[in-house]
Amino acid sequence: MAKKTEKNLVIVESPAKAKTIGKYLGPAYEVKACMGHLRDLPKSKLGVDIEDDFTPNYKPIKGKEDIISDLKKSAKTSSTVYLATDPDREGEAISWHLKALLDLDDEKAKRVTFNEITKKVVQESIEEPRAIDQDLVDAQQARRILDRIVGYELSPLLWKKVRRGLSAGRVQSVAMRMVAEREDEIKAFVPEEYWTLDAQLSTEDKHHFKAHYYGKDGKKHEPASAGEIEEIVRAVEQEPFAVKSVKRTDKQRSPSPPLPPPPCSRRPPAS
């Protein structure tokens, strides 16, 4: 814990958490709430430089000037600033934005997370701070930039082609495209007739099993009509059946994809 003469600032997201955590940490810590994001892409324009590696142009959020000013004053007079925003991707990004807004160096800014708001966990977390996880921050930035690019580029097209007021998102837009492409595949599908032939066989010791017609002379062939099936049956019905070879292999089967593959025949899926 901090020395009594030290003054430290702890920044959380909600005022309710700030009040409880302040009681747990004592007078050497000032706990304040940032009320979520304080910096974001501007609403008036795209805010992403597509030509320069998709660099975002972050600006302080309008209406939160007083919160930013108050946090800056507290940070200047504090020995250490503990960025204690939520333990998720958004929380990590909020801490990263706070560090930039408050002009904190790596020595002064410490990242802490509370998995539960109890005295024991809060005090232990303060004793074991870490650096900001840049991977989590980058993941949040990628999500935010994609939201902005898709929304700002596609929504005007919807207004023009469908109806004003509609919005396009990074998830629903891709999902709609997949559905549309799948529908085009279904409409373009040309069914092809094919037949299968199975024989119910039994061994001398009365073990029963099913054999599937594969082809002729070691080559795979799928009968395309009832006439072909009848010819095959006539050719083999008087012939004895024998097991030529037995082959055992280990196979690895992966889960099915989210959508089935494009239709190419009327063959049922493999079991």
Top pLDDT among 258 and 150 is at 150
Quick one: pLDDT at residue 35?
96
Count of H-run helices and E-run strands, the chain: 7, 12
> Letter for the amino acid at 27?
P
What does the alpha-carbon distance between residue 11 and residue 84 come to, in Å, rounded to a whole number?
5
CA atoms within 13 A on the CB side of 227: 0
Q: What is the pLDDT of residues 38-65, one digit of tens each?
A: 999 999 899 999 999 999 999 999 999 9
Instruction: Name every residue whose Cβ is closer than 8 Å to that of residue 64 and which is 6 or more positions away in sequence.
Output: 35, 38
> Letter for the amino acid at 245?
S
In which band, very low, low, confident or very high, does the pLDDT at 217 lie, cut at 50, 70 and 90?
confident
Global pTM reads 0.67
Q: What is the CA 33 to chain-centroid distance, rounded? A: 29
> Letter for the amino acid at 259?
L
Helix pair 134-161, 89-101: axis angle to 10 deg = 100
Compute the Cα dihedral for 212, 215, 220, 226 and give only its sign: negative
- Reply yes or no on whether the pLDDT at 265 is more than 50: no
- Domain 8-135 fold is Rossmann fold (3.40.50)
Domain residue ranges of the chain, discontinuous segments joined by +: 8-135, 138-188, 198-236
